[in-house]
Amino acid sequence: MALGPWCWSMHATGAPEMPLGVAPAVTLRGGTVALWALTSGPVDSSLHRAALGAEATASWHAAVLALPRSLPVLWRDLRDLAQHPPVPVHLCSHLAEPGIERRDRVVDGGSFGLAFLLQLASRVLSLPLPADIIASVAIDELGRTSRVDGLYEKLDGIATLAPRISRALVAASQHDEVRSSGGRLQLVPVRTAAQALEVVFGDALGIRLAEAGSDDARRRELVDAFFRLALVGRGAAVDWSPVERGARIALRDWPPAFDDRYRLQFAAGVAARHERNAGEIAVPGPAWLDAQPAPIRVGVLTHLVQQCADTGTPSPEQIEPYATTQVPKDLGAAFVPQLQLAGALARLWAVTGRPADALEMQQRVARAFVATFEDSQVSFQLSEWFRLAGALGDEEAFARAEAFLAKVEATCGLTPSGAPYVQLARARAGIELGQNTAETRDRLDALSRDLSVPAHVRWSAARWSARAWRRAGERALAEERLTAMELERSKAPHAARYLLLAEFDAAQDGQGTAEAFMDRLAALDPGPLTHLRQAYEADAEIVRFYPY
Amino acid sequence: MTTEQIEAFLAQAFPGQPLPGQSGLDAGAVGDAERLLLPEPQVDEARTSRPGVAIVPPALLHVRSDALEAAGIEAGFDEDTRALVLTASAHLAFGLAEPGQLRTSGDAGGTRFQVPTDRAHAFGVWSAAGPLAIGSVGPRAIELRVVNAWPAPPLPASVVIANWSRWHATMAAGRVARGFEPDATEADAIPARRWLRSVTADQRALIERFAIVRLHAIESQLLRLQEGLGVDQQLDFAWQSLCWHRDDVEGLRVLLREAGAGQTLATAVRGVDDIGRAVRFSWPSDIDVHDERLQRVSEADPGAWWGSTRRQVVWL
């Protein structure tokens, strides 16, 4: 009872304050729900402690890796803390069904994942957790949450054992199934560890970050960390919203220094683009760019070109002329960052009325990547190759893409994360080229149901599947897919975009009308639509070259 | 344990009671089995334990047995002696019986017993008025069944639900006797009210004991609410369930009173109702707990704290 206030009566006086580095956690074994305090501090020898099993230890290691990926930046070295996993100290038990209590001497499983991360965060940030919160969520090394077993019984046990706990963090993917089982507990769904940290610490995180900027050396390190994170790419963080928020807090609260300010603005803009296709980044002057090491300069330009394509700012006139000078004419002589910049330029051309140039460039870049044994980089280029071949009705380019894909697959194959994008682009191109086969439709259906691929890929696959079935004369099957999308719309980010496109497709095929379609789409995705509306007049043309 | 084994055991352990199939200990008096898995040594423990991490010797492990709990007996498990430890408060004294050991009324006076689990055997838990529960110890689990050793109440077919336990049927009799059962007529109330006059004093004492135990559970839940301790569901559901339980006890009190019994229960009820009124007095006005049954309670007894929250309690 001295380890934390959770089990104290609401009316009792003298309940302990929440100490630093202590988090509550819950286990279910047999019918026994046990409440534990995860602590790294000294423990009274009269208390029952447990060791961590192999799976729980792996979960701790995942939490150690996930924490720095879930915070905008870290200002304390984790290495020492990570060496010492917390000890679970038994607080109390509840039997969910008739039986004899299982008092574990070894606790195992993945359900401590987020509790481990919160305990570690409490130590690193020197912030105690709120007393009213508990987490029962598994996490992976990237901070993505996943379901735990026995959650219904665990919630029941928490409600009975811990009067002062009123909020339970659960995995977003599990929230629906336990939504009505929370009883008096408020269930808070979290998709990522970053979201959980936001729920748990709220403004306190920002305050700590602002405080960290008062030290010159530390501030410089932190600015470096923001800038590096932004340059690495979308995969560097699972959730970019804390990065954007952190950079904006730093911009607001830290003493101004030109170089620091630009790099923080750059990080905030890139994070906003990754999160919601938004954010503005100013184009730095040539002096700043020339002062950067070449790979950094090219990396910054690549992001600025992508920012231009996806958000509309900076304008193509501001960034394209200088960026083009950084790409060698002979791509065989280009380094990887230069090839990435070339790919970004092609992406910009594809939405600014130059799709044939874009197709040509993406083919060249794809070949250059493979020639330099950078096969893992090729999935974006190949996706665009397929997509633009379909949009342009270029059957020869499609055939070349097929041959190139076969060659890549014969050597080392596509990366698991890149393959779904290529499959989707290939299928949609097939449909646009009139190769609407049963195999294509099945592939799209399978992709739309595959929960392991990103949500926007699944949604785009569902939209193209509906279109393919309708064109194959199977209107009922097309409607079925649209209904499924409609039912799921609240669960996915960007769902409105794909529903709107599906509505437009149906209107094109003579089913209903899509009123004020282009304005609604532009409101959802202003960046690419601004470019496309300048390049094309007809709605059908705009949608044909719209990348999603 | 098979039905035959149960009946043979009860006949052997409680020779003063009517035989199975007769008016008292019929098969319906024995509840469903619950299985309590015995703790096993944790294999992972040795593999993952580290020097310096001392494991505290465990205290008594908590045991949840709905069968024993219904009879007012708490259970724990002693890991050192591997015995089931049964305890009760003094006014709910009980005894243990094993096959072959004759037990007679008045023989039960203990409040703490140990049931060893190192050998397979059957055992019975009894009070001075008769059997309360039976159990058997196997190599991996303990099996327990509650025994409600009194005859089935006279209930109209429209009320009876298949698979009802004797305890559920007895509580239904209380509702029928008070005219609270929507599917029963006024005429059905008469045999229900007279029912307990026809059973033995021991059987009435057993019903009273089970009712008192139920009342203790209500008291404990009321205290949890009063002290701000956790309940496992939303407050409105928790309160509704508590009110229904209190109303069940009220039915049993009426049945016993009609047979000139139940004085101990009546005294206990007064104490619990004091707490119930205190909790109801400070009940948050925005939490509405209302249903047909609670409405009937309020109409029949305006002073009942366990009625609908939409009605004022008349403080008498």
> How much is the pLDDT for A510?
77
> How much is the pLDDT for A121?
93
Alpha-carbon span B249 to B291, nearest angstrom: 18
This complex has an ipTM of 0.83
Three-state DSSP class for residue B115? strand
AA letter at B180: F
- Where would I find the H helices in A254-335? 258-276, 286-291, 294-311, 316-325
HEC profile of A115-133: HHHHHHHHHHHCCCCCCCE
pLDDT band (50, 70, 90) for residue B46: very low
Q: ∠B80-B82-B88 over CA atoms, to 5°?
A: 100
Contact (Cβ atoms closer than 8 angstroms) between residue A110 and residue A55 = yes
Rama region for A201: left / alpha / beta (φ>0; ψ in -120 to 50; rest): alpha
Is the pLDDT assigned to residue B188 strictly greater than 90?
yes
> How much is the pLDDT for B226?
84
Nearest to B38 among A9, A100, A183 (CB): A100
Nearest to B58 among A48, A87, A184 (CB): A48
A249 phi/psi in degrees, rounded to 5 = -65, -45
Is the pLDDT assigned to residue A354 strictly greater than 70?
yes
- Where would I find the H helices in A162-240? 172-178, 193-201, 203-212, 216-232
Contacts of B77 in chain A (CB under 8 A): 100-101
> How much is the pLDDT for A525?
87
Q: What is the DSSP string of A328-388?
A: -SSGGG--HHHHHHHHHHHHHHHHTT-HHHHHHHHHHHHHHHHHTT-GGGHHHHHHHHHHH
Tokens representing A190 are 């979290």
Contact (Cβ atoms closer than 8 angstroms) between residue A238 and residue A273 = no
B64 phi/psi in degrees, rounded to 5 = -105, 115
Alpha-carbon span B246 to A467, nearest angstrom: 62
Is some CB atom of chain A closer than 8 A to the CB atom of B287?
A: no
- Are A184 and B231 inside 8 Å of each other by CB? yes
AA letter at A118: L
Mutate to test the interface with A, among B48, B279, B282 (most CBs of A within 10 A): B48
Count of CB pairs separated by less than 8 Å, A with B: 104
> How much is the pLDDT for B199?
94
pLDDT band (50, 70, 90) for residue A275: confident
pLDDT band (50, 70, 90) for residue B58: low
> How much is the pLDDT for A210?
78
> How much is the pLDDT for A104?
85
Q: What is the DSSP string of A482-526?
A: HHHHHHHGGGSTTHHHHHHHHHHHHHHTTSS--TTHHHHHHHH-H
> How much is the pLDDT for B44?
46
Alpha-carbon span A375 to A370, nearest angstrom: 5
Alpha-carbon span B201 to B254, nearest angstrom: 16
Tokens representing B74 are 């708490």
Is some CB atom of chain A closer than 8 A to the CB atom of B44?
A: yes
**Residue pLDDT, tens place only, A14-37:** 778 888 999 999 999 888 999 999
> How much is the pLDDT for A73?
67
Q: Which of A276, A327, A275, A288 is nearest to A305 (CA)?
A: A327
Q: Which residue would you say has higher pLDDT here, A42 or B87?
A: B87
> How much is the pLDDT for B116?
93
Contact (Cβ atoms closer than 8 angstroms) between residue A282 and residue A308 = no
Three-state DSSP class for residue A150? coil
Alpha-carbon span B47 to A214, nearest angstrom: 48
Is the pLDDT assigned to residue B258 strictly greater than 80?
yes
Mean pLDDT of chain A: 88
> How much is the pLDDT for B276?
95
**Which residue is closest to B83 within chain A, CA to CA?**
A100
Alpha-carbon span B77 to B90, nearest angstrom: 21
AA letter at A26: V
AA letter at A536: Y
Q: Which residue bears the tokens 């919630």?
A: A155
Alpha-carbon span A255 to A241, nearest angstrom: 23
pLDDT band (50, 70, 90) for residue B52: very low
Question: Which of residues 54 through 113 in chain A touch B, CB cutoff 8 A?
Answer: 54, 87, 93, 95, 97-106, 108
- Are B49 and A105 inside 8 Å of each other by CB? yes
Helix axes A294-311, A336-351, angle to 10 degrees: 20
Mean pLDDT of chain B: 85
Tell me the torsion sign for CA atoms A432, A437, A439, A445.
positive
Q: Which of A193, A162, A166, A167 is nearest to A71 (CA)?
A: A193
Alpha-carbon span A244 to A359, nearest angstrom: 33
Name B136's bridge partners.
B122, B143
- Are A45 and B54 inside 8 Å of each other by CB? yes
**What pTM value is reported for the model?**
0.68
Contact (Cβ atoms closer than 8 angstroms) between residue A475 and residue A506 = no
Contact (Cβ atoms closer than 8 angstroms) between residue B149 and residue B131 = yes
Q: What percent of chain B has pLDDT over 70?
A: 82
- Where would I find the H helices in A13-98? 54-70, 79-82
Is the pLDDT assigned to residue B27 strictly greater than 70?
yes
In the DSSP assignment, the letter for residue B29 is G
Helix axes A216-232, A258-276, angle to 10 degrees: 40
Is the pLDDT assigned to residue B229 strictly greater than 80?
no
**Residue pLDDT, tens place only, A406-422:** 999 888 778 888 899 99
Is the pLDDT assigned to residue A199 strictly greater than 80?
yes
- Min Cα distance A263 → chain B (Å) is 47
* Cis previous bond, A314, omega within 30: yes
**Which residue is closest to B43 within chain A, CA to CA?**
A106
Is the pLDDT assigned to residue B42 strictly greater than 70?
no
Per-range mean pLDDT, top range of A197-211, A500-514, B72-86: B72-86
Q: Which of A135, A111, A9, A134 is nearest to A58 (CA)?
A: A111
